[in-house]
Structures are given as structure tokens and as C-alpha cells.
């Protein structure tokens, strides 16, 4: 099984878009507005909460203080699409 490349950078763009960069050179702007459903993601519909994400260096993915996160494989697949 191939290991997912590591997420090395994530920057807020605007709205619900985040620019991501992986260690294999893949870069993309992801619009995540459609992903904000379910109890853990509901608070992120508040744009100020959404913007407060960080890149977790251990998990190598985007995380929020609310406990929400995105699977690194999912972020990579969305970026590669």
C-alpha cells in the first residue's frame, strides 16, 4: 500500500477555501464548504471558527480546536482531483 504524501503547508485563502501543499509538490485550493456537516463540523460554518485551523505536524492534516479534522488521504485526494 502506498503512503499518502505528507501535507506540509495549509493557508487560508478566502471563504471556505484552504490552499494546501504536499511534500510531493502537489498544490491546490480546496473549497470545503460542502464538507461542513455533522456535529463536529457544524461550528466551522462560522467563518471565524473555520479560519482558525492549523496544520497538525504529527497527524499531517488540517485540524480545528473544535475537534474536527480531515483525513490526510481525503485532503490529498481532493487536491489531486
For the stretch 62-79, pLDDT in tens is 999 999 999 999 999 999
Residue 21 has pLDDT above 80, yes or no: yes
pLDDT at residue 1, as a whole number? 58
The band of 2, judged by pLDDT with boundaries at 50, 70 and 90, is: confident
For the chain, the farthest-separated pair of C-alpha atoms sits apart, in whole angstroms, at: 38
- For residue 30 the three cell numbers come to 480546496
Closest by CA position to 38, among listed 15, 17, 68? 68
Q: Which CATH superfamily is domain 7-80 in?
A: NE0471-like N-terminal domain (3.30.2020.10)
21 touches 13 (CB < 8 A): no
* Cβ contacts of 59 within 8 Å, gap of 6 or more: 69, 72
Amino acid at each position: 500500500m502506498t503512503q499518502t504524501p505528507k501535507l506540509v503547508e495549509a493557508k487560508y485563502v478566502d471563504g471556505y477555501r484552504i490552499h494546501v501543499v504536499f511534500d510531493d509538490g502537489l498544490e491546490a485550493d480546496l473549497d470545503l464548504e460542502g464538507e461542513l456537516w455533522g456535529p463536529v463540523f457544524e461550528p466551522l460554518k462560522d467563518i471565524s471558527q473555520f479560519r482558525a485551523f492549523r496544520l497538525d505536524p504529527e497527524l499531517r492534516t488540517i485540524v480545528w480546536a473544535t475537534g474536527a479534522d480531515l483525513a490526510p488521504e481525503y485532503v490529498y485526494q481532493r487536491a489531486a482531483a
